Structure 1
Amino acid sequence: MTGQPEPVTRRMKRLVDPIHLVAYESHEPTEALEALGLRHNYWDGYFAGRAAPLGLAPAEVVHAVFYNFAEGEVARHIPRVWDVTTPEAALAARERGCAAALRRRLGDLADHPCVGRAAELLVRAAAGAPTESRPLFAGLRSLPVPEEPVARLWHGATLLREYRGDCHNLALAVAGIGGTESHVLRALADGAPPLADGRVSHLPAEKLAAVLDGLRARGLVDADDRFTDAGRALRERIEQLTDDLDAPAYAHLEPADLDELITALEPLATALTNHRH
């Protein structure tokens, strides 16, 4: 794809992700969720906050929706967290913590008119995207939209980030790539040792060895744990299908509105990228 323009969906991903990711990269959301009585281990708050739009769904359902966690990881937190708090309380705490994190990291930009305009257009984009086969996005879209501009910005970015996430999971499933395999392939794409990837390095060595053996058997990874041509081609097909499935979220925006959204998001994404954690 060298020389071809960047798809709108990938550009939007780069602009939306820094806003959504304060949920995982900042202390305020974690502390707000722990204040509900959750264990101080990060992952209780992660699963309570992210799974809350699904209501009291059992671990098996959350595992299926999240797609890329190893067997048993979700069950260490779901339904345990719902013995301590409720999905409604977790949603409120997460939103409150994420808005506080955005305000801190954006500084004076948090009160700039671009925040309100970007929030409005993000929510409008999400309102026109299909919910079919996008379960986490569907759960999020059933929630009330915050009125406060910074909270609304985070909510809108999260809607579109999880929409793309659902689309990516569909693309992975079509390609026959499971959740643990997807992390190994991502590590390879980033040029990192696959067994050192933080999302899988804690798993038993025999489990990871079996994953790599499976990828080698399919001709996707060579004996030196590097992408083969077939592996690179498959990864690009997955990304292209993700882009294709993601496109309806922006297709119904007028070109001028999409341009305005990109313009409004660029300084926000830059500020957040430059001010990590």
Structure 2
Amino acid sequence: MTDIQLARQSWRRLEPVHGMIYFVPEATERYTALGLDFHAGYFASRGAAFGTASAELVIATFYNFCPAVVRQALPAAWKVVTPEKVIEARLDAADAALRRAGIHEIEVLAETTALARRAAEKACEQPQGRPLFAAHAALPWPSEPLLQLWHAQTLLREFRGDGHVAALLSEGVGPLDALILHGATGHVPVIFLKASRGWPEGEWAAAEERLRERGLLVGDELTEQGQALRQRIEDRTDELALPAYAALSDDELARLAELARIFGRAVVDAGLLGIASS
């Protein structure tokens, strides 16, 4: 059986290679050049794998964004740009940013890419019930090893993300509930979640009160019940992500986890996530 801890480590350590695309100026510059503002650039670039995605499709699959914010961006974005152009811009931005961080010069790039790609291709055999992943899985693989690594982690991220949404739904945790519970862990600043997801303050406060009534929050902190719920969701998300990593032997998965640390650290050290290690 695939080692669940190694699978989680592999994903978590390599995730900065994909996740930086939401923070780097290279992406903002390219989306702006296409006539898209910040929110339109985000929703259009991640949703372009669907084609001219409707606001409702993005609301459903991205899960935790305020619907009004999505509807301001889509479908208006498709009046000024095609999905193909946005996908091209996103790849170009990923290439430029990762090269700025020196990722293309890391000696073990080819080995890491080969392992991550095998996991991603295994995931592609099981798209059922994972719409956002399936849309990205239909995109062609880039030819450059650097972008192959980025695309592999993109697929693994969306595969895991669709499973996470399923886990949230199974536990009766709605979009705003998920954000508040996440913020209550202290892992992500609440101010960032509020600013990036766009929910009105009144709706946020009302959702917090509902979570307190459910016994999941006391003040702004998780109760024992809330902590247990969060852990259940994370554990189930890990389980649902396992099929991808079944492509690798235990030794190969351990090696991917080891290599992934190198790449994730390089992205962080370069400040591509808006932070740098001390």
What TM-score, normalized to structure 1? 0.90
Aligned to 1:60: 56
1:213 equivalent among 209, 213, 235 = 209
1-side partners of 2:144 and 2:44: how far apart?
Answer: 23
- How do residues 194-213 of structure 1 correspond to structure 2 at under 5 angstroms? 194=190, 197-199=193-195, 202-213=198-209
- How do residues 42-121 of structure 1 correspond to structure 2 at under 5 angstroms? 42-105=38-101, 107=102, 109-121=103-115
Q: Given that residues 184 and 195 in structure 1 are in contact (C-alpha distance below 8 angstroms), is that contact kept between their aligned partners in structure 2? A: no
The worse-fitting range, judged by mean Cα deviation, of 194-203 and 256-265 is 194-203
Root-mean-square deviation over aligned CA pairs: 2.0
2-side partners of 1:97 and 1:9: how far apart?
Answer: 28
Q: Which residues of structure 1 form unaligned runs of 5+? A: none
Structure 1 residue matching 2:221: 3-state secondary structure: coil
1:144 equivalent among 130, 140, 143 = 140
1:23 equivalent among 17, 21, 24 = 21
1-side partners of 2:83 and 2:147: how far apart?
Answer: 18
1:265 has 2:260 as partner: yes
Cα-to-partner distance string for 1:8-28 (whole Å, 9 max, x where unaligned): 232123212110112112111
Name the count of aligned residue pairs.
Answer: 268
How many angstroms does 1:191 deviate by?
A: 6.6
Structure 2 residue matching 1:14: 3-state secondary structure: helix
How many angstroms does 1:116 deviate by?
A: 2.1
1:250 has 2:248 as partner: no
> Residue 68 of structure 2 aligns to which amino acid in structure 1?
G
2:232 equivalent among 226, 229, 237 = 237
Q: Given that residues 16 and 161 in structure 1 are in contact (C-alpha distance below 8 angstroms), is that contact kept between their aligned partners in structure 2? A: no
C-alpha change, 1:191 and 1:157, in structure 2 (3 Å) is closer
Aligned to 2:275: none
1-side partners of 2:15 and 2:188: how far apart?
Answer: 21
How many angstroms does 1:245 deviate by?
A: 0.3
2-side partners of 1:194 and 1:88: how far apart?
Answer: 34
Q: Given that residues 64 and 197 in structure 2 are in contact (C-alpha distance below 8 angstroms), is that contact kept between their aligned partners in structure 1? A: no
> Residue 246 of structure 1 aligns to which amino acid in structure 2?
A
> Residue 28 of structure 1 aligns to which amino acid in structure 2?
E
What TM-score, normalized to structure 2? 0.90
C-alpha change, 1:98 and 1:132, in structure 2 (3 Å) is same
> Residue 241 of structure 1 aligns to which amino acid in structure 2?
R
How many angstroms does 1:198 deviate by?
A: 3.3
1-side partners of 2:88 and 2:231: how far apart?
Answer: 38
Cα-to-partner distance string for 1:222-269 (whole Å, 9 max, x where unaligned): 2x2221111111000000000110111101212233233223322111
How many angstroms does 1:206 deviate by?
A: 2.0
RCO higher in structure (CA 8 A, sep ≥6): 2
2:149 equivalent among 153, 167, 170 = 153
State the identity as a percent: 39
Q: Given that residues 17 and 161 in structure 1 are in contact (C-alpha distance below 8 angstroms), is that contact kept between their aligned partners in structure 2? A: yes
Q: Which residues of structure 2 form unaligned runs of 5+? A: 273-278
How many angstroms does 1:184 deviate by?
A: 0.7
